[in-house]
């Protein structure tokens, strides 16, 4: 099958696979190269890294990454590379679901297939950037990165003490608080991050280099943190989706983004079809309304956002506000023509304590499961159930990847 671009949000076939037709997905956000390594305890003490905490790289810490590579080569310690970042994790979730549809494929076959998932952001013109892009291509994701000459590629280090210096079973990827006995006993993890080029993006890259890929996407997903990087780029994508009848989705990303950049979020809200976020993020976004005596709880916040007028004036086109509340039921507030807003709650499947190994990435995986449903034009109930399933898988994984062997089926709208 020829690899021809599909304009205006068309559907894509996956060559040589059993995967059904689906819309293409474009994600926008900061991508980082993740380095997973075992290091001596002296290294952790030198850089003053704290257990199960994230430290911003600055000053003398700039040499950390090169020293990790040197230690790995000299001592033969474990060293792995992966891709990470909120939107990147979501893209990886969607791609893993698509890969499950296709069945086993060689890495070369994955590289040759027409990409359905793309990720847009900023990287440096350096070896780290090339390594990050190559990793994404190996998974089947198309990197659409603006190369920032003045900044190096963003990276994060996920570290644990070498197995020779600790009694625990090594687990590079597991920042777990479960330190009990048994097969799920995990190592304490230390994190460091340098955003670098992930905090920059060139608007000309969107307009002149990747616009064909924008037109081919039926579903566009942006993390709200990117509104602080390139607000115009996100707004242009949102406006394009509204004009072409494509689906635009926004993830609120973090409470601080909602609190300090809420005006930017509300500016793109009229173009938005689906909004994802945690209860804490929604309440942070509505702090000003709360001081005015409005939006006192998450139901009222979700109703307020769902009711905001659409830019296209389409009263029949519904906006869905999706709220995750930890282990409590997730909430979806949807507009209904002539009937206000309908609020639904979906119970969260329980995860056994012995199986719960990590907190990070659950929200990104939730969004990925939901987007996969949207790409296949599934109804909202099916999208939520798949999202909850993906979040459940995410908190139980001990590696960087995802395995979705028993995902629920989708019902079409």
Positions marked active-site:
364
What is the sign of the dihedral through the CA atoms of 290, 296, 302 and 305? negative
The partner residues of 399 in beta bridges, in order of sequence, read: none
CA 3 to chain CA mean position, Å = 26
Measured CA distances, 38 to 66, 165, 195 (Å): 14, 10, 22
**Exposed/middle/buried for 300, CB within 10 Å: 0-12, 13-18, 19+?**
middle
What is the C-alpha end-to-end distance of the chain, expressed in Å? 28
Which DSSP category does 181 fall into?
S
3-state DSSP call for residue 23?
strand
Of 215, 206, 211, the C-alpha closest to 6 is 215
CB of 252 closer than 8 Å to CB of 265: yes
Of 347, 336, 350, the C-alpha closest to 384 is 347
Token pair 């494509």: residue: 246
CA 254 to chain CA mean position, Å = 12
Strand ranges (E), 307-375: 320-325, 328-336, 340-346
CB of 405 closer than 8 Å to CB of 368: no
Which DSSP category does 35 fall into?
E
- Residues composing the chain: 413
Strand ranges (E), 97-195: 117-124, 142-148, 155-161, 190-194
């Amino acid at each position: 099958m020829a690899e021809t671009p599909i304009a205006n949000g068309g559907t894509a076939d996956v060559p040589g696979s059993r995967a059904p037709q689906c819309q293409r997905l474009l994600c926008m956000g900061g991508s980082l190269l993740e380095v997973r390594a075992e290091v001596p305890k002296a290294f952790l003490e030198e850089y003053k890294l704290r257990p199960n905490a994230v430290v911003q790289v600055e000053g003398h810490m700039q040499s950390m990454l090169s020293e990790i590579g040197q230690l790995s080569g000299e001592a033969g310690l474990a060293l792995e590379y992966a891709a990470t970042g909120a939107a990147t994790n979501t893209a990886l979730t969607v791609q893993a679901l698509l890969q499950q549809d296709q069945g086993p494929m060689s890495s070369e076959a994955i590289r040759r297939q027409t990409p359905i998932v793309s990720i847009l952001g900023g990287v440096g013109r350096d070896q780290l950037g090339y390594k990050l892009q190559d990793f994404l291509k190996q998974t089947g994701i198309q990197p659409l990165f603006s190369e920032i000459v003045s900044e190096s590629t963003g990276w994060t280090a996920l570290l644990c003490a070498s197995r020779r210096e600790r009694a625990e079973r090594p687990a590079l990827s597991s920042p777990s608080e479960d330190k009990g006995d048994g097969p799920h006993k995990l190592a304490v993890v230390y994190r460091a991050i340098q955003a670098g080029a992930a905090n920059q993006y060139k608007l000309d890259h969107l307009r002149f280099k990747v616009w064909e890929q924008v037109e081919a996407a039926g579903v566009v997903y942006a993390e709200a943190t990117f509104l602080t990087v390139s607000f115009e780029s996100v707004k242009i994508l949102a406006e394009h989706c509204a004009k072409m009848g494509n689906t635009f989705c926004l993830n609120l990303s973090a409470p601080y983004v909602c609190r300090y950049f809420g005006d930017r979020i509300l500016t793109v809200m009229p173009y938005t079809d689906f909004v994802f976020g945690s209860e804490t993020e929604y309440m942070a976004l509505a702090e000003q309304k709360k001081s005015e005596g409005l939006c006192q709880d998450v139901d009222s916040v979700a109703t307020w956002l769902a009711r905001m007028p659409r830019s296209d004036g389409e009263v029949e086109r519904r906006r869905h506000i999706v709220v995750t509340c930890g282990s409590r039921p997730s909430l979806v507030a949807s507009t209904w023509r002539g009937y206000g807003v309908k609020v639904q709650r979906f119970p969260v499947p329980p995860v056994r304590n012995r199986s719960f190994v990590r907190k990070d990435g659950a929200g990104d995986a939730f969004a990925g499961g939901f987007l996969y449903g949207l790409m296949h034009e599934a109804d909202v109930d099916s999208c939520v159930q798949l999202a909850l399933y993906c979040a459940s898988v995410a908190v139980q994984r001990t590696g960087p990847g995802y395995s979705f062997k028993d995902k629920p089926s989708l019902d079409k709208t």
